[in-house]
Structure 1
Amino acid sequence: MSRVNEVRSHFLTFILVAMIFQSLVATNTAAAKPGDLAINAVINPAPGATYTTFDIVSIVIEIENNENDTSSERKINWAVCTGEKTYQACFGDSLFDGIKILAGMNANQTQQVEIGSFTDWNQNRSYTLAVGFDDYDQNVSNDKITSQFTLTNAYVDLSVGVSNPFSDIPFLTTLENKYVINSNTDYVLEFPYTLESCGTCIFDATFGWKLYSMNGQSITESNNTQTLASTSGIEKAFTEVLPTFNHHSQGTFLFEFGLYNSSDDVDVIPSNNLHTITIEINDKLDIKVKEMFPTQDPTA
């Protein structure tokens, strides 16, 4: 009899465990949202980027509806924590967090959505941003994302504007969208840039130009270094005069210009420090007709 009771007890235990497991599966299945909304990327703060700690940081992500039907409303959770952390750890140790209700998206639509913002005043450290849907959908692999970024209280960013320094020189002709200049001639060139630097930042900037062959071989260069005054955390526009340009050979060249080095409080975004154009040095093409008078003359 005891053996029968033992078997019966094990059987009842098995049935109970099976019922609990089935209940959990049913609960998870019911919680999963229909469709497939994907968090494709963090747009801002850009992964790996550095920002000033004295500005508000907006959180913007890209979301895509991968289904052929309109999606249902979804809740998005976000958290910001210090250091590099996993998704779960960041939510468990967040400095800032929030919720964004996402309205239904049209079929196969992609959009950028601002889900929140924060500011962490006068800090100099790295952070993790964790973003995810409150309820997973049919494809859980794209329902959450993490990325890292940095805030600094010594923010310096000099950005060279897209321009052509030769465009300000009068009466230059062009050849296939390239300005044509003469060899063995001095050219005084300038270019615009913007600068944002913190109130206590000391910024020594090395401006200059480099001339390259069309296959990228360095030919000659010139630069100078100067100390730039603080902009007190405000982005301001400036114009910089380059060292005089002169080259003895004719041909087609790549002319690069901008900021080549910074010291003390270093520029935090080097990708916007330089700009390159193509120039033509040709002593035969140095005349350009600007005006003809009279405009119509049968005897001309």
Structure 2
Amino acid sequence: MTILDGKKVSNEIKDEIAAEVQQMKNRGEKVPHLAAIIVGNDGASLTYVNSKVKACERVGFESTLVKLSSTISETELLKKIKELNENPDIDGFIVQLPLPEQIDTQKVLLSVNPDKDVDGFHPTNFGKMALDMSSFIPATPFGIIELLERYNVETKGKHTVVIGRSHIVGRPMSILMGRKGFPGNSTVTVTHSYTKNITQITSQADIIITALGNPEFLKAEMVKDDVVIIDVGITRVPDETKPRGYRITGDVDFENVSKKASFITPVPGGVGPMTIAMLLKNTLLARENHRLS
């Protein structure tokens, strides 16, 4: 069994990006600039955005953090997004989700310039990805693809089961795993809350990608020997034995499933660190696109 070490690979990617940025500086070129909009004071969102700012510092990017009140109107938020769209100094930006109830999330995501949509959520980028055209791939699926590639996990002709159909992970992964190329060329089954006999399906899978947010949902009896497991789930489970009073758990019963797996991502330290690394990679791509346009 091989651990797909997202922390290690993400650090390698950051080192590679930092080297490219240094070359840009040596040539006297403008370095990539990533901005993030955060609305309100959600603790998890603040932690995540701050880690993105630190990652920018590490690789030599410029970064801007736009903090807005949770009471901001949709009109005011759209105005701020328009400013970032029109600011030539900003190569890419993200709007941290979730947003307050008074704001239409879909309307906000549609308002982001696709050329600066380094989260890869805009329909233009999603559509290009589906058509195998050059685009920004959503950071988490991009990170999973990178992990599979760097560990040389065979995907051609394999049966991939995706658990979950969100536009952030499940749907993009189903497209990417079925595309021509590597990683890809697998036969994909998408399962969700209405899927019947899910154990019958997962037990036939060569690769399982699960993004449910249901702690330890996937049990050892649901998988076959030598399965490849990608666990995207991350849930805080109360645990009084831990200093913080909780432990972080994925969708997979890691202790038991890992005994049957050929490759498996841990939680934490698997897919999570890759997400930020690929956000940086998308921002680097955006900078290059702007330089050439």
TM-score, normalised relative to structure 2? 0.22
Greater relative contact order (CA < 8 Å, ≥ 6 in sequence): 2
Higher alpha-carbon Rg: 1
TM-score, normalised relative to structure 1? 0.22
Q: Which has the higher strand share?
A: 1
